[in-house]
Amino acid sequence: MAEFSLAEYGITGKTILRNPAPSLLYEEAIRREPRSAISDTGALIAYSGEKTGRSPKDKRVVQHSDSENNVWWGAVNFPLPESVFMVNLERATDYLNTREVLYCIDGYAGWDPKHQIKVRVICCRPYHALFMDNMLIRPTDEQLEDYGTPDCVIFNAGGFPANRYTSGMTSKTTVDLSLERQEMVILGTDYAGEMKKGVFTLMNYLMPKKGILSMHCSATASADGTKSSVLFGLSGTGKTTLSADPKRQLIGDDEHCWSDDGIFNIEGGCYAKAVFLTRETEPQIFDALRFGAVLENVVYDEAHHHVDFSDTSITENTRGSYPVEFIDNAKIPCVGAHPEHVIFLTCDAFGVLPPLSRLTPDQAEYHFISGYTAKVAGTEVGVTEPQATFSPCFGGPFLVWHPGKYARLLSEKIRKHGAQVWLVNTGWSGGGHGVGSRVKLRYTRSMIDAIYSGELQSAPVVVDPVFGLNVITECKDVPSEILIPRDTWADKDAYDATATKLAGLFTDNFKKYADSVSNAVRAAGPKP
């Protein structure tokens, strides 16, 4: 492999492997990371250590005069002085200079050549290198030779902690982003997903400046590739599962942009949740976890290296990373036409939202800004009912601008291109969690199929009296009795009380965004 230098970043005298082949990264991982292993399907098994998920409270954005008026400061974007960023950057490079071998992954974010950026990742764990080789768009040999200066550089020194006595640090973990330098520094966490979402956060800043909507969504195209749809949803709502559809082409499972030319995937790979994964329920994802893929924080048996996806003793956030082309029906290049359908997925553990509703443009903007789902109650003492979660634009932790900017872009594009918007509840029916049961996946797939086919355009609807939604009452291969949620509850008074409670949560949450939207959008929400 030709010599490669990172001296311009203050990294000198190291063995640097630039864009090494997956097979070489396997060798490096087995040699240098004691817990690494190879699964019986050929995937690299790796462990992120103490942090098995993102650390959103440790995400910081440099406060700079050029961008500070554009940033949505607060609970999502904590301000960081540029001087502290430079301290952390030097701490990261000093640590990287102590490593025997470094890995440099050069790739692209964005499949549309007009809008893609060049991303460089500098790290010291083979697992991180293979992960980002999967998640970025991989350059050809010719592109790599002519790569030039990257637009964004990630310094991953996650194995070394932040100094808690440095101004602005609240823990040993920090994930710092400079929008002006377009650099990212990671200290105190080896969770690989921080790199992926760091790139997405930067794209969430750069793309809206160009009038392009960046979206936390999956996207698919029709079998002939001429029509496309996007699916929004928070973790656990089915975004990745429902985009792995053998009847359609996969554009991408998580991050996209909507430009004047259509949609394009930001990533070169997929990062799918693997908890309780089986070939029977999700064959495409299961079969993609082969040689070249990374299986993160899973449990396997020592004798046969067979992964037990039902074992959550390390974390419920077990995941698999693989190149998008590992999905047989991936659409390469990962671009599509303007979406015909925009689908919002929610997992309502209260069991009161209808499984299938059609939204007006104003309702679409309201529910996009709300970004609702509900999580099942945990083991904390006294917590006995579902917990509502509102994440603006279905991707609050990754937004840079105020949510209203993304919502306006979505509304403009929906109206301009005539997209139909749907709300699909993949959560509970017949009662909330602990009483009812989750809507069967096969029913949800039938609803999504009916959306794509166009047959629901003339389907009968009723207006939900609390949420104001146009509820579909007939859908092929779906029992009609589950489509009206109140009808599935044995205790109607309990349903009414729960629906009123959830509507109130929507209303309370939306108050912080009300000043940035039109009267029509404000009026499009529930009426508790």
Dihedral sign of CA atoms 72, 259, 150, 129 in order: positive
Distance of CA 409 to the CA centre of its chain: 19
pLDDT beyond 70 at 383:
no
Distance, CA of 101 to CA of 96 (rounded, Å): 9
Distance of CA 167 to the CA centre of its chain: 30
The 3-state DSSP class for residue 126 equals helix
pLDDT beyond 50 at 382:
no
Mean pLDDT of 116-139: 98
Distance, CA of 38 to CA of 205 (rounded, Å): 38
pLDDT beyond 90 at 151:
yes
Distance, CA of 300 to CA of 311 (rounded, Å): 9
Task: Output the pTM of the full model.
Answer: 0.94
Which positions ≥6 away from 120 have C-beta within 8 Å? 104, 105, 106, 150, 152, 153, 154
- pLDDT tens-digit series, residues 44-94: 999 999 999 999 999 999 999 999 999 999 989 999 999 999 999 999 999
For residue 516, name the pLDDT band (cuts at 50, 70, 90): confident
Catalytic residues: 54, 197, 216, 235, 239-240, 254, 319
CATH label, 7-214+271-326, candidates 3.40.605.10, 3.40.449.10, 3.30.160.20, 1.10.1500.10: 3.40.449.10
DSSP string of 138-158, one letter each residue: PPPHHHHHT--S-SEEEEEET
Q: What is the dihedral of CA 193, 374, 391, 463, to 10 degrees?
A: 140
Enter the CATH code of domain 338-522: 3.90.228.20
Burial 25-64 (b: 16+ CB within 10 A, else e): bbebbeeebeebbbbebebbbbbbeebbbbbeebbbbbbb
pLDDT beyond 70 at 378:
no
Angle between helices 126-135 and 22-32 (to 10 degrees): 150
The answer to whether domain 7-214+271-326 and domain 338-522 are alike in fold is no
Nearest in space to 124 (alpha carbons), one of 98, 102, 108, 104: 102
Distance, CA of 66 to CA of 181 (rounded, Å): 11
The tokens for 209 are: 């400046």
Cα angle 378-379-382, degrees, rounded to a multiple of 5: 95
Least-confidence region, from 52-66, 252-266, 382-396? 382-396
Averaged pLDDT of the chain: 95
Distance, CA of 523 to CA of 117 (rounded, Å): 39
Single-letter residue type at 275? V
pLDDT beyond 60 at 127:
yes
- pLDDT tens-digit series, residues 222-240: 999 999 999 999 988 988 8
Annotated domain spans of the chain: 7-214+271-326, 338-522
Q: For residue 384, what pLDDT is reported? A: 54
The number of beta carbons lying within 10 Å of the beta carbon of residue 312 is 15
Mean pLDDT of 255-278: 96
Instruction: Return phi, psi of residue 93, to 5°.
Output: -65, -35
Mean pLDDT of 475-480: 96
Q: Are 162 and 170 in contact (CB under 8 A)?
A: no
Q: What percent of the chain has pLDDT over 70?
A: 98
For residue 281, name the pLDDT band (cuts at 50, 70, 90): confident
For residue 462, the cross-strand partners are 471
Burial 159-194 (b: 16+ CB within 10 A, else e): bbbbeeeeebbeeebbbbbbbeebbbbbbbbbbbbb
DSSP string of 336-369, one letter each residue: EPSEEEEEEEE--TTS-S-SEEEE-HHHHHHHHH
pLDDT beyond 80 at 379:
no
Mean pLDDT of 312-340: 96
